[in-house]
């Protein structure tokens, strides 16, 4: 549990800004969610330590897709010294420009947060996907992610 309800509220708002940044293709907004140095693993076999590199990947991956990311069941705990940890359940729907399914995913984020100045940032993320459904893989996929990256 967080010592401050205001800190908890700010962290939940941060998680929701992350989803909004993705779903509106607002890449500066998405970048503002990350600490400069990150430890992020979405479970694809690729990890990131640079927020700029992660943000560039997210932009490349999501370009041309219509997305809807939904977050719920926020559990945030104080980790001391301007740090917090949290688990958030998610559901993500990614559609191609023709409306066909690219990916539907359900799982949770295990996050580490750090307060930078007066703003909370995501400093670490591990994604645990418990269910996913993928649309037909086709040649256009190779520009975003290979079959191996998707675990196939």
Strand boundaries in 46-151, DSSP class E: 47-50, 66-80, 83-95, 101-116, 119-134
Distance of alpha carbon 12 from alpha carbon 142, whole angstroms = 34
Instruction: Work out the mean pLDDT of the chain and round it to a whole number.
Output: 89
Alpha carbon 131 to its chain centroid, in Å, reads 16
- Structural domain including 96 reads 5-143
Q: Look up the CATH number of the domain holding residue 118.
A: 3.10.450.50
Mean pLDDT of all residues in 147-152: 42
Instruction: Note whether residue 116 is domain-resident.
Output: yes
Report yes or no on 150 lying in a domain. no
Residue from 117, 82, 87 nearest 4 by CA: 82
Residue 93 lies in a domain: yes
CA distance 2 to 79: 8
- For residue 143, pLDDT over 70 is answered with no
3-class secondary-structure state, position 143: helix
pLDDT tens digits, residue range 72-119? Answer: 999 999 998 899 999 999 999 999 999 999 999 999 999 999 999 999
- Using pLDDT thresholds of 50, 70 and 90, give the confidence band for residue 135: confident
Query: What's the pTM?
Result: 0.86
> How many structural domains comprise the chain?
1
């Amino acid at each position: 549990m967080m010592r401050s309800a205001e800190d908890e509220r700010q962290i939940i708002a941060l998680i929701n800004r992350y989803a909004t940044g993705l779903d509106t293709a607002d890449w500066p907004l998405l970048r503002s969610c990350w600490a400069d140095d990150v430890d992020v693993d979405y479970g694809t076999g690729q990890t990131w330590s640079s927020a700029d590199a992660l943000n560039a990947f997210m932009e490349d991956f999501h370009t041309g897709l219509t997305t809807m990311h939904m977050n719920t069941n926020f559990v945030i705990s104080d980790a001391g010294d301007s740090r917090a940890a949290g688990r958030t359940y998610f559901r993500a729907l990614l559609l191609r420009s023709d409306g066909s399914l690219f990916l539907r995913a359900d799982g949770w984020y295990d996050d580490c947060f750090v307060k930078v100045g007066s703003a909370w940032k995501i400093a670490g993320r591990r994604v645990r996907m418990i269910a996913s459904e993928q649309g037909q893989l086709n040649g256009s996929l190779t520009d975003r992610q290979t079959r191996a990256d998707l675990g196939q």
